[in-house]
Every structure is written in C-alpha cells, then in structure tokens.
Amino acid sequence: MPQTTRKKSPKGTVSIEEYQGRLRLRWRHLGKRYALSIGLPDSKVNRQVAQQKATIIELDIASGNFDLTLKKYKPHTQNSEGLSVVGLFELFMEYKAKRLLPRSLDKYDATLKYLERYFDNRDAAAIDEKAAEQFMEWLTKQKLSPMVCRERLTLIRAAWDWGIADDHLEAGQSNPWVDMVLRVRVEPKQMPKPFTREEMTAIVEGFKKSRYYSYYTDYVEFLFGTGCRTAEAVGLRWKHLTDDCSSIWIGESLTRGVRKATKTNRARTISLSEKLKQMLLRRRPEKPEPDGLVFRSAKGGAIDDHNFRNRAWTSVLGESGVDYRKPYNTRHTFISHALDMGMNPVEVAQLTGHDVQTLYENYAGSVNSRPRLPEF
C-alpha cells in the first residue's frame, strides 16, 4: 500500500494519501491548504477513482473555476449512491475531530466499530427506518447498557443530520435514526445521597489524620466548600486567584494532562468564604508562579482524578466509616446543602456554573429542597 507522503506538492497539484484507512486528497490554492476525504478504503481501484477527482480539481484550479465551497468535489454531493454508512460516519468523525479533543472522540470510534460490523459496505442512502430499527435491535443485544446504546444511536442520528445538511446525502431526505434514539428506554437512576454535615467533617478529618494522604486535605475542603467540578479544582492556577485569595476565577479545567474550557464553556468568578480564603493564603507561596497549580499531587504534578479516587478517596472514606460515593458527589453535596439553607437557586447556579433547570433536575437531591405534599 503506498505510504502517505509528507512532501509539499507544487501549487495546484492535488496529492492522494491514506488517512485512517481511507483515501483523501490534499492540495494548496491561493495560500490555503485543503483536505477532502474520498470516503473510500485505500486500494488500487479506489486510487484510480481518487485520481479522477484530483484531476477535476486541478483542471478547475488551472481554469479559474475552482469551487471554494468544495461541494462540487465532495463524494456524491447531489447523489449519495455509493457512499457507505461507514464512509458517511467517517466523514462526520473527520468533521468533529476539528472541534473535539482526542479523548472526546473515543465514543465516535466505538460507534464506528459497530457500524463496520453490522453494515459493512452498505450504502447510506439505502438505510430506511426498517434498517435503522434492525440495527437498533442488534445493538441492544451487544451487552451495552441502555444509556450507552442511546448514546451510540444519538451520534449516528447526528451524523445523518450533518450528512443531509452538508450534501453528503440527498437534500430533503428524512433521518431514519430519529425515532430509534427515542425507542431506547433508559431507566431513571436515583441520585446518590449528598454527604451529611457529619460525613463531610469525618472525611476532612480523615484526610488530616491520614499518614499517606494528608496533603489532599485542602483540596477536599475546597471541593466541599465551593462545589467546583473536580477538573476545575485540579486545573486551578494561582493567577486565577486575587492577591488576597478572597475570590477566584473559574474558566478552565484540567483532566489527565489536557487543559480546556469548563464543561459548559462559561467562566465564573466566586467570592470565597473566610475559611477557604485563609486556607488558600496559607498555601500561597510568597511569590507564586502565575501558571502554577494551586493543588498538586504528592509528587508535585497535577492531581490525577482516577488515582485520587481509587487510592486516597476510597481509603479515607473506608477508614472514616462513610459509605462510598464518588468525589464528584462533593458538588452534589454543596448544591443540596446550599438550597436547604435557603439560598436562591439562581445564586447557587451562578456559583456552580449551571442553569437553574439543570440544577433542580440533577442536583437538588436533599429532602428539604424537594417539593412536599400538602397536609390534608
């Protein structure tokens, strides 16, 4: 199989390369680089097809008829016959790859594998509601949870919506996957119980007394005291705090070495309690590095959430006699207790970075914050 070339092609020349098992074209025009997936696996015959497409593009560039939108050159822009289910989803993945972090694409890769196993080279245009239903029934038998099954179907539905909008499928074609997502019944899950005040005290004291994990004490207090997402607390840098540590800016998160915006892509500023302010002042170096992390692991690096949960958190909760709940429950606990204290839900949502409806639906789990039946 020909190797992908990294050589620069002359201007106006379209090169053919293999990318993730599929053929794509690359070229430069008017100072801009272009890449176009053919949607076909790398083979001798398919390279001939790709060369025909490349020649069309080269001729259009030479004659001044180049289509800057690329619609003219995309596989089957007006007629989707021949574009496979797998090929369509691969094009969708290539589109999403420009907007998502590599780890976020894992679920797309998993979905692609199921499509490859079931549909093989079947045309995307041939998929109707009956075919989609048969795939859904097959998928539910693959030892997937209903939640994961729905997630896979949601991605396929999104791929079809994108394919229709981007002219990879025939304009006006209905999406056969819409109803399939709704047919997967996901049983409601009971929210985990928030930690009680006594449990919170026991956990913090457990970390203070721990021979191995006491250096996490401030981090745990910060989680309980702010309701931050764990990745937000892990990614907190000294430049995000005011000089007197009375308030913090939260607009970034850090997960296993990957720094990005918060989950909702919205920043917020929080005024801290006196207790948290004094704790951070004690931690603050005399001349802190602006990009330095506020909370670190024992070895001085960023806290690994999996390692913290599996070792420190599990160990301390067990020794403290507290029923296990994930560290993320510190956020749920903060919101529930704040609402029980009578805080305005709008203010709580501003502190935690939620919208009010999401806050009530997903986090208001303590008894006092629930609607009560009237006494008759």
Of all residues in the chain, what percent carry a pLDDT higher than 70? 89
> What distance in Å separates the CA atoms of residue 330 and residue 224, rounded to the nearest whole number?
5
What's residue 120's pLDDT? 84
Query: What are the pLDDT digits (tens) for 154-195?
Result: 999 999 999 888 778 876 678 999 989 888 887 777 777 899
What's residue 1's pLDDT? 41
Domain 85-183 has CATH 1.10.490.10: no
Whether 266 contacts 232, CB under 8 Å: no
What's residue 12's pLDDT? 67
> What distance in Å separates the CA atoms of residue 149 and residue 99, rounded to the nearest whole number?
23
Paired with 123 in beta bridges are 84
Nearest to residue 86, comparing CAs of 120, 129, 35, 135? 120
- Section 321-346 average pLDDT: 89
Is the pLDDT confidence value at 100 over 80? no
C-alpha distances (whole Å) from 170 to each of 163, 173, 178, 220 are: 9, 6, 17, 54
What is the three-class DSSP state of 99? coil
What is the three-class DSSP state of 339? helix
Q: Give the residue range(s) of CATH 1.10.150.130 domains in the chain.
A: 85-183
Longest dimension (CA), the chain: 84
Is the pLDDT confidence value at 95 over 50? yes
What's residue 4's pLDDT? 43
Q: Which two tokens stand for residue 220?
A: 């745990």
Topology of domain 197-369 in CATH is hpI Integrase; Chain A (1.10.443)
**Range name among 76-85, 107-116, 122-131, 135-144 with the lowest pLDDT average:** 76-85
Between 255 and 372, residue with greater pLDDT: 255
Position 105: which residue type?
L
What's residue 22's pLDDT? 74
- Section 54-81 average pLDDT: 74
Element (H, E) at 58: helix 44-63
Is the pLDDT confidence value at 46 over 50? yes
Is the pLDDT confidence value at 75 over 70? no
What's residue 371's pLDDT? 59
> What distance in Å separates the CA atoms of residue 246 and residue 357, rounded to the nearest whole number?
29
What's residue 247's pLDDT? 93
Is the pLDDT confidence value at 310 over 80? yes
> What distance in Å separates the CA atoms of residue 249 and residue 242, rounded to the nearest whole number?
9
List Cβ neighbours of 163 (8 Å cut-off, separation of 6 or more): 80, 88, 91, 92, 124, 169
Is the pLDDT confidence value at 76 over 70? no
Between 125 and 355, residue with greater pLDDT: 125
**Range name among 152-161, 262-271, 353-362 with the lowest pLDDT average:** 353-362
Q: Give the residue range(s) of CATH 1.10.443.10 domains in the chain.
A: 197-369
> What distance in Å separates the CA atoms of residue 295 and residue 254, rounded to the nearest whole number?
12
Residue with token string 């997630």: 151
Q: What mean pLDDT is reported for the chain?
A: 84
Q: Which two tokens stand for residue 155?
A: 């991605």
- Section 258-286 average pLDDT: 88
